[in-house]
Structure 1
């Protein structure tokens, strides 16, 4: 083959290969982006879309591939907060850094890491508090939920239809959680799996009893109406009992939070009375050990008070 013919042919083949390579890279990038978007959408199946633009989508995808991220997502779903695992982790890190700098500047450099650890503890306790508050509200709605399901099944409606109707009539959080269950049932999930995920999100004895009743009745075809009627009365009695116990233990719960607050306040008071006192105190290993021991004792006191005041009904 002539050299004058080979050069244009080689150039043309090279350009074609480059065009195909660029097209392939573009198709790969588009496919990867669509796959990531689909995975992000499927991971939020059953959750109410807010339309708010997420700032940490990449971090969300990485966290959801880890066991810790999945547990965190389940915990956030139980709180009802409009946060993703990436949002929570980013905000928690920002809070830790801010508390670190504040503790280091207001008290002493030694207190920077301690206040950072307190920031992590506060974030976890905030999640637990939001989750427990939502569970309590959901438990308070269980008698009305059982009543609606009993009336719907007595009218001849199927249990799936009754759950969808209860989701429309009840307010949050019961309405939102039942909407997720109805959505999962519409996508083909079984009744056992959908209700099982509900008990995982909002664990409580009352909900477990209700879910067990519904699942067994759905499997065996028993008397759903009579079982739900009896369960409604039981849930009403447990609701009143829990309210009385919560009222009696309110002072004890406030004491558990007041103990560590008084300890931290004493540090600010000490540093305010004599400037630089904390610097000198934490400048030696003995002082650092004393401060760490004091923080540990306050934490143990908080946990013990909470444990001793916990009454299972």
Structure 2
């Protein structure tokens, strides 16, 4: 048994090292520095964002940096955790370490993105109002937007500062804001980009356009708040249904811990618990999707 475990350990380590070597070969730092220097003078349009890896894109949306810079290290740690879980806890714990980390990471990144972009949308009317005051003071539209970006606060400032960088690299203001809107995938940002593009192509009163956009964004926010208040009972019901089995299991562990332990040691009880866990996971995901669609 021990030689087989050692062979399994060596195999997992060699596989992790091979992945790390391949990743380093594909992402050589010298080549990356040369490409970065060559790309400094090129505008960063939406096509570049679309060609980014989905993992980097998700982390960039959540404001967490680029995980691909240390991907080999994280994959090695994950493989080591799976191996240790298999050695000490058996195949069930090994399977849990295979499935749970990606799921939890996805949930955390999605939660962080939703919270961050919600705050950015709340700050957008203030930025547009600053643009309107600058336009009425005699600034051009591009100067008004860039000055409003510099005067804004985080998290909107750190996110929309990519617009200032792209404009400095030679991209038009409308294309730079369109690139920002496509990255964060919110209708409010897309409307802002569309308004700038229409004004850039056909002209018109920019201050009046931005004032109407401010009113529209605030009305959308008020409607979303009313809908959230009206569907509060549904969301609470879904939360209770999702947490009830977990609370019951925790109650059993506190009052009679040997009950679940004996069930786990029995083969039939083990299958029953695994089936219940799978059904609980599927039901929670179904309730989550239903609540998001409300």
Does the TM-score normalized on the shorter chain lie above 0.5? yes
Task: Answer yes or no: is 1:80 the counterpart of 2:76.
Answer: no
From 227, 232, 254, the equivalent of 2:209 is 227
- 1:131 corresponds in structure 2 to 113
- 1:4 corresponds in structure 2 to none
Q: Distance in 1 between matches of 2:139 and 2:258?
A: 71
- 2:163 corresponds in structure 1 to 181
The verdict on how the C-alpha distance between 1:109 and 1:73 changes in structure 2, with shifts beyond 3 A counting, is closer
Give SS of 1:212's match: helix
Q: Deviations over 1:18-40 (max 9, x none)?
A: xxxxxxxxxxxxxx754322446
The verdict on how the C-alpha distance between 1:305 and 1:278 changes in structure 2, with shifts beyond 3 A counting, is same
- 1:6 corresponds in structure 2 to none
Q: Distance in 1 between matches of 2:122 and 2:216?
A: 12
The verdict on how the C-alpha distance between 1:35 and 1:75 changes in structure 2, with shifts beyond 3 A counting, is same
- 2:4 corresponds in structure 1 to none
Give SS of 1:171's match: coil
Contact 2:119 2:155 (8 Å CA) reproduced: yes
Q: Please tell me the root mean square deviation across aligned C-alpha atoms, in Å.
A: 3.8
- Segments of 5+ residues of structure 2 without an aligned counterpart are 1-27, 42-47
Contact 1:252 1:305 (8 Å CA) reproduced: no
From 132, 138, 159, the equivalent of 1:156 is 138
The verdict on how the C-alpha distance between 1:110 and 1:37 changes in structure 2, with shifts beyond 3 A counting, is same
Task: Answer yes or no: is 1:309 the counterpart of 2:294.
Answer: no
Q: Distance in 2 between matches of 1:41 and 1:253?
A: 50
Q: Deviations over 1:46-68 (max 9, x none)?
A: xxxxxxxxxxxxxxxxxx9x96x
Contact 1:97 1:116 (8 Å CA) reproduced: no
- 1:112 corresponds in structure 2 to 94
Counting matched residue pairs gives 257
Q: Distance in 1 between matches of 2:182 and 2:150?
A: 22
Q: Distance in 1 between matches of 2:193 and 2:248?
A: 49
Within a 5 Å distance, the mapping from 1:270-281 to structure 2 comes to 272-274=257-259, 275-281=261-267
Give SS of 1:310's match: helix
How much has 1:234 moved relative to structure 2? 1.9
* Greater helix fraction, Structure 1 or Structure 2: 2
Q: Deviations over 1:86-139 (max 9, x none)?
A: 447744774686488569867x64243034302210001111111111110011
- 2:31 corresponds in structure 1 to 35
Kindly name which structure, 1 or 2, has the bigger radius of gyration based on alpha carbons: 1
The verdict on how the C-alpha distance between 1:112 and 1:176 changes in structure 2, with shifts beyond 3 A counting, is same
Q: Distance in 1 between matches of 2:283 and 2:208?
A: 47
The verdict on how the C-alpha distance between 1:75 and 1:254 changes in structure 2, with shifts beyond 3 A counting, is farther
How much has 1:206 moved relative to structure 2? 1.7
Q: Deviations over 1:177-234 (max 9, x none)?
A: 2211011110112334322221122111222112111111112112211111111122
Contact 2:238 2:291 (8 Å CA) reproduced: no
Give SS of 2:179's match: helix
Within a 5 Å distance, the mapping from 1:1-313 to structure 2 comes to 34-39=30-35, 70-87=53-70, 90-91=73-74, 94=77, 98=81, 109-247=91-229, 249=231, 253=235, 263=245, 269=252, 272-274=257-259, 275-281=261-267, 287-288=270-271, 290-310=272-292
The verdict on how the C-alpha distance between 1:202 and 1:146 changes in structure 2, with shifts beyond 3 A counting, is same
Q: Distance in 2 between matches of 1:244 and 1:103?
A: 49
